[in-house]
């Protein structure tokens, strides 16, 4: 095994040094070594990939569909995505040049931020949030500006946005994610519209990560692109809606001129997504079987959400009811103070339930924990029993 030459160690990308080590996967990894641990840590659906999607991938392999696809993805898939965006959200995108298929929404985040960030650029991020936005912004030499939304029930209001813009008038982009990871909170149509009105008066590029858009429990999902399509890149994908995290299919939709650099950067990084995974995604986004599969999973998630929210409230957690995704962001009971890292560590070690400390998700997350309910009802029942024992012992 080669040892790394000492002299090259200070030649790495300096921006890496700005990243805070640890985080969700590290906490999950540490917790995994605790005997008997129940993990409510990751945003990983517990469902299998629906049969029609699996069959489409198998057919693709058997048909020797094994060559470089067009950079933006197969036309079949872009057409299926255009259909999905129109059918679910009444958004119109031209499959020819307004949609790019990415390797998960993760690559979509990287490609879209790469297209707008020059070193030193400020990117506004509504927090608490999925930490990857901050990480990628920093790697690209940009500066994330966190907007703490915790005192507005985790909704970015036009007033809050304006007050941040007064201090950061040159900010280039705004990242929004709803339904939200980690809060599960989503925006009503009126909230989206009001925010969009405020953004319209700016030249902010909006990166709208709507990966959980299919998992809204009451009422429809309203994309911010319905109001300000000309300055919005919508990110989405099959990972959460169709339990296809391992297939790595995401997409970006946006106006043509904005999509040009995004698509170019995407193609330079990965060439294209893989053929069998794209074939599966055609079934996910373009067929009734794909739509029905999501609805079934959504029903199960909703039952789990209701069960866990009730159980946690009874134990003294304070919760803004999550209307989407599969997370609950719970304020830890008052007797435990505000140290979410200590609470989550003690709960893992003593109560044998792993949840993610809220402060990992940026400003406004302190004193909270994120609980993922993308796991079976039996597991959730046992987890709530363990949490109750842990809390009652500490009382
Ligand atoms: C808000 C958000 N965006 C993007 C992703 C990544 O999605 P993908 O698996 O499609 O890369 C996740 C995964 O947890 C997420 O929570």
Which atom of ligand 1 lies at the shortest distance from residue 245's CA?
9
Where residue 73 falls (left for φ over 0; alpha for ψ -120 to 50; beta otherwise) is left
**CA pair distance 96, 114, nearest whole angstrom:** 22
Position 394 confidence tier, pLDDT thresholds 50, 70, 90: low
**CA pair distance 238, 252, nearest whole angstrom:** 12
Please tell me the predicted confidence (pLDDT) of residue 321.
86
Residue 181 in tokens: 């990871």
Q: Which whole number is the average pLDDT over 64-82?
A: 97
Share of the chain above pLDDT 90, in %: 93
Position 359 confidence tier, pLDDT thresholds 50, 70, 90: very high
Task: Please tell me the residue having the least CA distance from ligand 1 atom 14.
Answer: 43
Decide whether any atom of ligand 1 lies within 6 Å of the 184 Cβ. no
The strand pairing partners of 94, in sequence order, are none
**Ligand 1 pocket mutation, candidates 135, 186, 208, 211, criterion most atoms within 8 A of CB:** 211
Task: Please tell me the residue having the least CA distance from ligand 1 atom 4.
Answer: 105
- Residue ranges and CATH numbers for the domains of the chain are 6-48+291-394 (3.90.1150.10), 51-289 (3.40.640.10)
Please tell me the predicted confidence (pLDDT) of residue 344.
97
Average pLDDT, the chain: 96
Name, in order, each residue with C-beta under 8 angstroms of 182's C-beta and a sequence gap of 6 or more: 128, 129, 130, 327, 329, 356, 358, 361, 365, 368, 370
**CA pair distance 237, 90, nearest whole angstrom:** 17
Please tell me the predicted confidence (pLDDT) of residue 289.
97
pLDDT tens-digit readout, 293-309: 999 999 999 999 999 99
Decide whether any atom of ligand 1 lies within 6 Å of the 106 Cβ. yes
Q: Which of 11-20, 71-80, 136-145, 294-303 has the lowest mean pLDDT?
A: 11-20
pLDDT of residue 395 exceeding 70: no
Decide whether any atom of ligand 1 lies within 6 Å of the 108 Cβ. no
Q: Which whole number is the average pLDDT over 145-153?
A: 97
**CA pair distance 364, 138, nearest whole angstrom:** 20
Among candidate residues 103, 303, 112, the one with its CA nearest the CA of residue 209: 112
Among candidate residues 108, 96, 362, the one with its CA nearest the CA of residue 211: 108
pLDDT of residue 278 exceeding 90: yes
pLDDT tens-digit readout, 210-241: 999 999 999 899 999 999 999 999 999 999 99
Please tell me the predicted confidence (pLDDT) of residue 188.
97
pLDDT of residue 21 exceeding 80: no
Decide whether any atom of ligand 1 lies within 6 Å of the 237 Cβ. yes
Place of tokens 């399509």: 229
Decide whether any atom of ligand 1 lies within 6 Å of the 105 Cβ. yes
Check residues 25 and 164 and name the one with the higher pLDDT. Answer: 164
Among candidate residues 146, 109, 155, 134, the one with its CA nearest the CA of residue 329: 155
Decide whether any atom of ligand 1 lies within 6 Å of the 286 Cβ. no
pLDDT of residue 145 exceeding 70: yes
Decide: 116 and 205 in contact? Cβ < 8 Å: yes
- Strands 122-127, 143-148: pairing is parallel
Question: 280 CA to middle of ligand 1, Å?
Answer: 18
Among candidate residues 146, 205, 155, 151, the one with its CA nearest the CA of residue 179: 155
Strands of the chain, DSSP E: 38-39, 99-102, 122-127, 143-148, 173-177, 205-209, 232-237, 250-253, 318-319, 327-331, 353-354, 356-357, 368-372
Question: 129 CA to middle of ligand 1, Å?
Answer: 11
| DSSP H helices in 117-172 | 132-139, 158-167
pLDDT tens-digit readout, 322-356: 999 999 999 999 999 999 999 999 999 999 999 99
pLDDT of residue 257 exceeding 70: yes
- Phi/psi for 222 (5° steps) reads -110, 115
Which atom of ligand 1 lies at the shortest distance from residue 238's CA?
10
Place of tokens 């363990």: 386
Position 22 confidence tier, pLDDT thresholds 50, 70, 90: low
Decide whether any atom of ligand 1 lies within 6 Å of the 328 Cβ. no
**CA pair distance 387, 381, nearest whole angstrom:** 10
Packing angle of the helix pair 104-116, 256-270 (nearest 10 deg)? 120
Position 12 confidence tier, pLDDT thresholds 50, 70, 90: confident
Please tell me the predicted confidence (pLDDT) of residue 393.
85
Question: 25 CA to middle of ligand 1, Å?
Answer: 13
């Amino acid at each position: 095994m080669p040892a790394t030459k000492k002299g090259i160690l200070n030649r790495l990308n300096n921006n890496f040094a700005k990243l805070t080590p640890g985080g969700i996967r590290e906490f999950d990894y540490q917790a995994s070594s605790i005997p008997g641990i129940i993990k409510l840590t990751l945003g990983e659906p517990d469902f299998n990939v629906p049969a029609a999607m699996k069959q489409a991938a198998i057919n693709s392999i058997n048909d020797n569909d094994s060559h470089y696809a067009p950079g933006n993805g197969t036309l079949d898939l872009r057409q299926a995505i255009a259909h999905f965006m129109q059918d679910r959200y009444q958004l119109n995108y031209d499959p020819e040049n307004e949609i790019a298929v990415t390797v998960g929404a993760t690559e979509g985040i990287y490609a879209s931020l790469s297209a707008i960030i020059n070193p030193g650029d400020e990117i506004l991020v509504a927090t608490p949030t999925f930490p990857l936005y901050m990480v990628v912004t920093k790697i690209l030499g940009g500066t994330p500006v966190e907007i703490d939304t915790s005192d507005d029930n985790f909704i970015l209001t036009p007033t809050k946005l304006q007050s941040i813009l007064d201090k950061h008038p040159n900010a280039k982009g705004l990242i929004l994610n709803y339904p939200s990871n980690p809060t599960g909170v989503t925006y009503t149509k009126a909230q989206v519209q009001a925010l969009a009105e405020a953004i319209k008066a700016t030249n902010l590029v909006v990166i709208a990560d709507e990966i959980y858009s299919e998992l809204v429990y009451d009422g429809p999902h309203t994309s911010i692109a319905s109001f300000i399509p000309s300055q919005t890149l919508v990110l989405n994908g099959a990972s959460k809606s169709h339990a296809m995290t391992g297939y790595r299919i995401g997409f970006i939709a946006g106006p043509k001129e904005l999509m040009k650099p995004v698509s170019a950067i995407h193609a330079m990084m990965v060439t294209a997504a893989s053929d069998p995974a794209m074939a599966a995604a055609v079934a996910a986004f373009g067929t009734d079987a794909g739509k029905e599969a999501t609805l079934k999973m959504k029903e199960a998630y909703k039952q789990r959400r209701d069960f866990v929210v009730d159980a946690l409230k009874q134990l003294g957690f304070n919760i803004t009811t999550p209307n989407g995704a599969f997370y609950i962001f719970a304020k830890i009971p008052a007797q435990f103070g505000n140290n979410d890292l200590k609470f989550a560590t003690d709960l893992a070690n003593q109560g044998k339930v792993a949840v993610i400390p809220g402060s990992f998700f940026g400003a406004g997350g302190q004193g909270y924990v994120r609980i993922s309910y993308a796991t079976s009802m039996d597991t959730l029942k046992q987890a709530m029993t363990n949490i109750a024992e842990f809390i009652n012992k500490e009382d």
